[in-house]
Structure 1
Amino acid sequence: MVDQSAVGRAFTPVTARVEPGRLRFLLDTLGERNPLYRDEAAARAAGYAASPVPPTYLFCLEMMDASEPFELLTALGIDLARVLHGEQRFDYHASVVVGDILTFRPRVTRVTEKKGGAMTLVVVETEVTNQSGIHVADTSRTIVVRNPGSS
């Protein structure tokens, strides 16, 4: 079971490039047709340096480009079969656009037991910077762990 000793634990930074082909694949999969994400001229007309990414794309990039996508679960002894997705949050401080090279730095910021210990909520916050060292976003995700003995 994850306990308070996990708070503050940092994990391997992930570097990912915002590639137009992978972004287009996601947009096609979602059925997203907004020209802002697909047409560089429309993006530039809206004030972007290139086509921006949709708000939740950062989570995809971090998972896809991690050399060990489940490093956190392994390091904390969490069985993937007991994991549920709790919530996600994205706070943008600057635009993220096609061509950016991003660095993700995840760390555990909170561990909370719920339902008399039947589950543990693990909050992972990630600082995201671009190739220029600009802090472009913070993401937060809550992992719900069903503890052994709970149904």
Structure 2
Amino acid sequence: MSKVMDLIGLELSPYSYSVDKVKIKEFAEAIGDLNPIYFNEEAARQEGYDGIPIPLTFLQVIDMWGGYSFMEKCHILGLNPVKILHGEQEYKFVKPIYANDVLTVKGKVDEVNIKKGSSGGMNIITLKFEYHNQVNELVAVSTNVTIDRH
């Protein structure tokens, strides 16, 4: 069996992240989404939210600032950083995530596929992360695919 197949089921140490309304604002500005719900709690409540919500791709910020760096992830998975590509990202939201929520994120290697091609092989590694809020409710799941070229 390939060494990379041993990664299936590997659990990453959980981490926590406090969702900050300043980071939400910075992110919304960076992506050019000037919807007032990301800047003003009253505007968010008028639109039916319980507080300032996160933009849909904000989970990437949570992973970047609270989770594992690119190099840490490579080290944990035993990958050469110059030979990997980000293949795919998917987010599933179960409940809204708001400013001031404190999230605990748990991740694991969900699947590994080995592909052969004319220019060499690839290990396709799927990681799944679950995001729970401060009352332990599952609020989101992200799935990302890393391609390890060999």
| Common fold by TM > 0.5 | yes
Structure number having the greater strand percentage: 2
Give the fraction of aligned pairs with identical amino acids, expressed as a percent.
Answer: 29
The 1-side partners of 2:11 and 2:148 are apart by 19
The 1-side partners of 2:17 and 2:95 are apart by 17
1:139 paired residue number? 142
Q: Equivalences for 1:1-150 in 2 at 5 Å?
A: 3-66=4-67, 68-69=68-69, 70-116=71-117, 118-147=121-150
The 2-side partners of 1:127 and 1:21 are apart by 23
Q: What do residues 109-145 of structure 1 show as CA deviations (whole Å, max 9, x unaligned)?
A: 0001123461111000001100011110111000111
Report the Cα offset of residue 2 of structure 1.
5.3
Q: What do residues 78-122 of structure 1 show as CA deviations (whole Å, max 9, x unaligned)?
A: 011111111111111100011100011010000011234611110
Stretches of 4+ moved more than 6 A in 1? none
Kept after mapping to 2: 8 A contact 1:2/1:77 = no
Report the Cα offset of residue 34 of structure 1.
1.3
The 2-side partners of 1:51 and 1:140 are apart by 24
Aligned residues: 146
Q: What do residues 25-59 of structure 1 show as CA deviations (whole Å, max 9, x unaligned)?
A: 11111111112222211211122111100111112
TM-score (norm 1): 0.89
Kept after mapping to 2: 8 A contact 1:2/1:111 = no
Structure 2's unaligned 5+ residue stretches are: none
**Secondary structure of 2:27 counterpart:** helix
